[in-house]
């Protein structure tokens, strides 16, 4: 018990020390945070309901048309949140999500760092080359899946060229399934890296602010 009290005191001390040191700087604007958590939540629903539609888990005994409704609603939400982020990037003239050649040049060094062959990551902008590659691939694949989804949503009414281009329902199902698997494989990498590398980045994605050491005392 005594030990327990001691521990709590020292934790509190550390926290207070942390409060005095460092400065809070804004690193994630409100619309980026709204997009991030909104998109993360709706995309999770899109993928889970999509898998359920693809191959219903009989032990869940869910009603097909209800799952389809959830799938369609969360797709519209995900698309809406993405629209918010695009508008936000245009208004703020923010190019932090656009990969530049200079970013991609650092990719081998970044991998060397992740595989413990280098002691520090290469210099980068807001997001490193690995993040930029993952985010861009998500953006492209999400739009591909959206286009295919809308082609079946508006079956025979609009986007008939998409239908003709890919060659029918089975191909659409297959492509959307592969895209879901890609998301399922890369989202855990994103979560793992965002909570291990620098936890204050997560703090910024929740509160908007990130704690940086004060330049003059470090």
- Smallest distance, Å, CB 103 to ligand HEM? 13
Nearer to ligand HEM, 39 or 113 (CB): 39
Nearer to ligand HEM, 137 or 214 (CB): 137
- Smallest distance, Å, CB 218 to ligand HEM? 20
Q: Who contacts 65 (Cβ-Cβ below 8 Å, separation ≥6)? A: none
- Smallest distance, Å, CB 6 to ligand HEM? 32
Nearer to ligand HEM, 118 or 190 (CB): 190
Nearer to ligand HEM, 135 or 153 (CB): 135
- Smallest distance, Å, CB 134 to ligand HEM? 8
Residues that bind ligand HEM in the complex, under the rule CB under 6 A: 32, 35-36, 39-40, 43, 85, 96-97, 127, 135, 138, 187, 190-191, 194-195, 201-202, 205
Phi, psi dihedral angles at 123 (to 5 degrees): -65, 150
Nearer to ligand HEM, 87 or 171 (CB): 87
- Smallest distance, Å, CB 168 to ligand HEM? 28
């Amino acid at each position: 018990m005594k030990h327990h009290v001691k521990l709590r005191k020292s934790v509190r001390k550390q926290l207070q020390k942390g409060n005095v040191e460092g400065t809070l700087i804004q690193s994630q604007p409100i619309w980026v945070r709204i997009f991030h958590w909104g998109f993360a939540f709706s995309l999770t629903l899109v993928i889970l309901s999509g898998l359920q539609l693809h191959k219903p888990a009989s032990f869940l005994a869910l009603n097909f048309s209800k799952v389809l409704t959830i799938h369609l609603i969360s797709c519209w939400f995900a698309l809406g949140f993405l629209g918010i982020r695009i508008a936000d990037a245009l208004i703020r003239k923010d190019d932090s999500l656009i990969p530049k050649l200079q970013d991609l040049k650092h990719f081998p060094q970044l991998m060397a760092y992740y595989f413990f062959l280098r002691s520090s990551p290469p210099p980068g902008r807001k997001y490193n080359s690995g993040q930029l590659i993952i985010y861009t691939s998500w953006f492209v694949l999400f739009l591909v899946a959206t286009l295919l989804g809308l082609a079946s949503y508006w079956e025979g009414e609009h986007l008939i060229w998409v239908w003709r281009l890919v060659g029918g329902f089975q191909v659409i199902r297959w492509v959307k399934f592969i895209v879901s698997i890609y998301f399922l494989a890369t989202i855990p990498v994103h979560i793992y890296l965002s909570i291990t590398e620098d936890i204050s980045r997560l703090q910024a994605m929740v509160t908007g602010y990130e704690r940086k050491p004060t330049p003059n005392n470090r």
